[in-house]
Amino acid sequence: MDNIVVGMGEVLWDILPEGKKIGGAPANFAYHISQFGLDSCVVSAVGDDKLGYEILDNFDKKKLNYLIKKVPYPTGTVQVELDKTGIPCYEIKEGVAWDNIPYTSALEELAKKTRAVCFGSLAQRSIVSRETINCFLDVMPDGEGQYKIFDINLRQGFYTKDTLCNSMQRCNVLKINDEELVIVSRIFGYPDIDFQDKCWILLAKYNLKMLILTCGVNGSYVFTPGNISFVETPKVDVADTVGAGDSFTATFITGILKGKDVSEVHKHAVEVSAYVCTQKGAMPELPPYLREQLL
Angle at 232 between CA 197 and CA 266, to 5 degrees: 80
Q: Please count the other Cβ atoms lying within 10 Å of the Cβ belonging to residue 161.
A: 10
Domain ranges of the chain: 4-291
Question: What is the identity of the amino acid at 203?
Answer: L
Alpha-carbon distance of 23 to 99, in angstroms, equals 15
Closest residue by Cα to residue 263 from 215, 229, 225, 223: 229
Residue 104 · residue 43 · CB < 8 Å: no
Give the pLDDT of residue 2.
67
Query: Is residue 54 helix, strand or coil?
Result: helix
Query: 19 pairs with which residues across the strands?
Result: 16
Element (H, E) at 230: strand 227-231
Tell me which DSSP letter residue 102 carries. Answer: P
* DSSP string for residues in 68-100: EEEESSPPEEEEEEE-TTS-EEEEE-SS-GGGG
Give the pLDDT of residue 19.
85
Alpha-carbon distance of 100 to 110, in angstroms, equals 18
Q: What is the CATH number of domain 4-291?
A: 3.40.1190.20
* Chunked mean pLDDT (size 10), the chain, 295 residues: 88 85 90 95 98 96 95 93 77 94 98 97 97 98 93 92 97 97 92 91 96 95 97 93 92 96 97 94 90 84
207-241 b/e (C-beta count within 10 Å ≥ 16 → b): ebbbbbbbeeeeebbbbeeeeebebebeeeebebb
Model confidence, pTM: 0.93
Element (H, E) at 201: helix 195-205
Residue 247 · residue 151 · CB < 8 Å: no
Element (H, E) at 256: helix 244-257
Alpha-carbon distance of 168 to 122, in angstroms, equals 14
Closest residue by Cα to residue 198 from 181, 218, 212, 179: 181
Q: Is the dihedral of CA 119, 120, 121, 125 positive or negative?
A: negative
